[in-house]
């Protein structure tokens, strides 16, 4: 009898500790859509009534949606067919605490909805407190600030608010960023570049303007020398790190541009740039305090430019070799604000130098 009580107590404690250590989920977005998939892929419940379709963005290998008539993984999302009138669904996975997802309304037959379910984030400290921002000293220059980007997940590519018809931004897929990292508050300035390299290749010479006229290979040489000077391990951002940060990281507000739905608030391009490069930090920052992610200069990424995968990704970097790398964000030369969108992608040859492309650094935490 005592042995059985001991085993029961042990299992109770073990189960409780696992539950307490598992991460919790939260619903961060729920919306009606004009998507006709609930009609085109009609599923009826046991009474012959057509279901509602909820498309869940959720990175999990084995979710079970209790009470669903049908669930399937399709196009990077979980398609969950629920009975008309349902206002919640219980989501069970092996790596998260069971979560009752409350929709806040009763679902309608043959309507399609989209839901985003993410891990709960711990309360964020104010931007400039503690380690949410750090300053990097570079001898012979003012140095630069870096902003902490916390782990999270996001839909990468031509999401609804992007209004995109670009094929290379598709398919939209979920990406999970598992590790915190710091990213430059601004693009690398000419002051910092010249202090490190002893020269300034820029056409628009000004210490407070971002450096341009450098190739992807030049940028790597700069990073190697900066690492030797500072004793740190700076890198170029991966394309996923760049887009996650541009979208506002864990504070993302689903903006078309980095920090706004209006390009002129956050980015310099042909319409407002006066046909020239501008100093950093002249316009509004995004949700986590990053400047000029949209416009002023394209920014080079670590990845080779390849097609997007259909599957969800975890900390991705495109390593399939070709001669082109990715650059992001648009520039002062961009003819329209289309190039300033968070999802916009273009290529650059590793040895190509142009006056509309620069770099922003990341640093592992």
182 in helix, strand or coil? strand
With contact defined as beta carbons under 8 Å apart, do 310 and 75 qualify? yes
d(CA 274, CA 99): 52
How many Cα atoms occupy the beta-carbon half-sphere of 41 within 13 Å?
A: 16
pLDDT at 61 (0 to 100): 65
pLDDT at 249 (0 to 100): 94
Tokens found for residue 19: 């539950």
With contact defined as beta carbons under 8 Å apart, do 149 and 311 qualify? no
Tokens found for residue 200: 């300034």
d(CA 127, CA 148): 8
Encode burial over 92-107: b for 16+ CB neighbours within 10 A, e otherwise. Answer: ebeebbebebebeeeb
Residue whose entry in the numeric block shows the structure tokens 């968070």: 342
Find, among 344, 347, 306, the residue nearest to 325 by Cα.
Answer: 347
Tokens found for residue 72: 């399937």
> What sections of the chain are H helices per DSSP?
2-21, 37-40, 190-197, 216-230, 239-246, 263-266
With contact defined as beta carbons under 8 Å apart, do 88 and 54 qualify? no
d(CA 249, CA 127): 13
d(CA 222, CA 219): 5
With contact defined as beta carbons under 8 Å apart, do 296 and 201 qualify? no
d(CA 82, CA 160): 23
Residue 19 buriedness (CB in 10 A; 0-12 / 13-18 / 19+): exposed
Residues 6+ apart with CB under 8 A from 363: 136, 146, 181, 182, 183, 232, 233, 234, 235
Residues 6+ apart with CB under 8 A from 203: 212, 213, 277, 355
pLDDT tens for the 365 residues of the chain, in order:
444 444 443 443 333 433 334 578 888 888 888 889 999 999 999 999 999 999 998 876 689 999 999 999 887 789 999 999 999 999 998 878 899 999 999 999 999 999 988 877 544 333 333 469 999 999 999 999 999 999 999 999 999 999 999 999 999 999 999 999 999 999 999 999 999 999 999 999 999 999 999 999 999 999 999 999 999 999 999 999 999 999 999 888 889 999 999 999 999 999 999 999 999 999 999 999 999 999 999 999 999 999 999 899 999 999 999 889 999 999 999 999 999 999 999 999 999 999 999 999 999 99
Q: Mind listing the pLDDT tens digit for each residue in 212-225?
A: 999 999 999 999 99
**What is the pTM for the complete model shown?**
0.73
């Amino acid at each position: 009898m005592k042995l059985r009580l001991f085993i029961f107590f042990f299992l109770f404690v073990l189960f409780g500790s696992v539950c307490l250590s598992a991460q919790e989920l939260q619903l961060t977005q729920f919306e009606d859509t004009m998507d006709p998939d609930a009609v085109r892929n009609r599923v009826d419940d046991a009474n012959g009534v057509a279901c509602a379709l909820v498309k869940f963005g959720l990175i999990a290998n084995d979710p079970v949606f209790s009470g669903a008539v049908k669930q399937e993984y399709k196009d990077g999302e979980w398609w969950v067919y629920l009975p008309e009138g349902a206002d919640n669904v219980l989501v069970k996975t092996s790596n998260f605490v069971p979560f009752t997802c409350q929709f806040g309304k009763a679902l309608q037959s043959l309507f399609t909805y989209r839901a985003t379910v993410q891990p709960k984030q711990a309360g964020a400290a104010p931007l400039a407190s503690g380690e949410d921002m750090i300053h990097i000293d570079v001898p012979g220059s003012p140095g630069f600030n870096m902003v902490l980007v916390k782990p999270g997940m996001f839909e990468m590519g031509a999401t609804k608010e992007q209004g995109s018809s670009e094929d290379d931004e598709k398919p939209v897929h979920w990406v999970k960023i598992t590790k915190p990292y710091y990213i430059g508050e601004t693009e690398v300035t000419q002051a910092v570049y010249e202090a490190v390299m002893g020269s300034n290749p820029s056409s628009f010479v000004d210490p407070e303007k971002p450096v341009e006229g450098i190739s992807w290979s030049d940028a790597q040489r700069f990073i190697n020398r900066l690492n030797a000077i500072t004793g740190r391990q700076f890198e170029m951002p991966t394309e996923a790190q760049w887009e996650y940060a541009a979208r506002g990281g864990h504070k993302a507000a689903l903006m078309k541009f980095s920090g706004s739905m209006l390009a002129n608030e956050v980015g310099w391009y042909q319409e407002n740039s006066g046909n020239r490069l501008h100093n950093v930090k002249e316009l509004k920052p995004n949700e986590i305090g990053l400047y000029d992610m949209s416009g002023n200069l394209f920014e080079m990424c670590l990845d080779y430019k390849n097609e997007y995968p259909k599957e969800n990704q975890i900390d991705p970097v495109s390593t399939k070799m070709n001669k082109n790398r990715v650059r992001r964000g648009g520039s002062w030369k961009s003819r329209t604000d289309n190039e300033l969108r968070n999802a916009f992608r273009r290529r650059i040859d590793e040895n190509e130098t142009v006056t509309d492309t620069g770099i922003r650094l990341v640093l592992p935490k």
